[in-house]
Amino acid sequence: MADQQAMALPIATGAAARALAARLEAHGYQVSFPPGRDPAVFKVTGLAGRPDVEVSAENDGSAACHYTGCTPAQAARVIARLPAPGRSQVQVAGETATAIWGGIEVEWHYQPPEEQPGDPHQMTVALLAHLAVLDGQDERKADPT
């Protein structure tokens, strides 16, 4: 029984990541799933400056994004677009989005409201808004409905 549950989790998690990746592609982002990696993780390419951007999506509705700029100057321009120095946490209707940054890295986490099932639409909206800030392209922030 435990073996069946352990095997089912990566498949479900991979499905959440594939669904989120498809939504991002529909909004102009390029995505790829690195071979041999966790099925919940994918790369987003095509952002200005060609940074390393890795996204993960979990079947509980949470998501994370890790951005690494190619140079300190490139990362500084991205970090300057973030809402507050060092750390930012926004909570709306029980959802939490947290960004932590320093040097050439930005780490972002999205957590849906507690005790509620994850909403793929809300996760997508939150991630699109974050990627738009990283990319400097506000027009990609449009609601993906």
Q: Give the tens place of pLDDT for each residue, 21-39.
A: 999 999 889 999 999 989 9
Q: Give the tens place of pLDDT for each residue, 82-101.
A: 765 555 555 555 567 777 77
Q: How many domains does the chain have?
A: 1
Give the global pTM.
Answer: 0.74
Residues 6+ apart with CB under 8 A from 91: 97
CA 98 to chain centre: 11
- Which of 4-8, 26-30, 133-137 tops mean pLDDT? 26-30
Q: Which domain holds residue 37?
A: 2-141
* Cα distances (Å, whole numbers) of residue 41 to 18, 50, 103, 132: 9, 18, 23, 19
* Cα distances (Å, whole numbers) of residue 29 to 41, 44, 93, 102, 143: 15, 7, 27, 25, 15
Rounded to whole angstroms, the Cα distance separating 120 from 95 reads 13
